[in-house]
Amino acid sequence: MAEPPERYPASPAAADRAARSIALVAGLPAVFAATMFDPMTEPAVAEVFMAGSQTTRLHTGSLPEPMRREISWWVATCHATGDRQVHASEWNRWVAAAADVAGRRAARHAAAARGALQRRRLVAA
């Protein structure tokens, strides 16, 4: 992938991951800060979708917000550099897999937190 253009800097000076994630999409046109990229209704999006993906939407809404921001930044960068790289069907499969992994990880963390709370209650009793 080409280096990111000056117009959409990745802000290495941001102090933490959340701030860097937010900085990725700061100043992006709204069409690229969305959770659905539709080449049939957005000409700017159509410019970065491969010819075989011109009728397929890319949905990122099921991903954790930092991952959505990274994809938004990447699509905007492809547009700014003139790269035509988005194969929507492949990306939608990746989004589904990544969202599933993120969901299972969140469920494990929630279960672990419930277990810790129950242990604290037993100790306090």
Q: What is the pLDDT of residues 72-97, one digit of tens each?
A: 999 999 999 988 788 888 887 887 88
> What gap in Å lies between CA 60 and CA 38, rounded to an integer?
11
> 11-23: per-residue pLDDT in tens?
554 457 778 888 8
- Outline where 43-86 has alpha helix (H): 43-46, 65-81
- Cα 90 to Cα 110: distance, rounded to the nearest angstrom: 30
Domain extents in the chain: 17-124
The span from the CA of 100 to the CA of 52, in Å, is: 26
CB distance 33 to 72 below 8 Å: yes
What is the per-residue pLDDT across 23-49, written as a single tens digit (0 to 9) for each? 888 889 999 998 999 989 999 999 998
pLDDT for 104: 74
Q: Is the Cβ–Cβ distance between 55 and 41 less than 8 Å?
A: no
Contact 17, 66 (CB under 8 A): yes
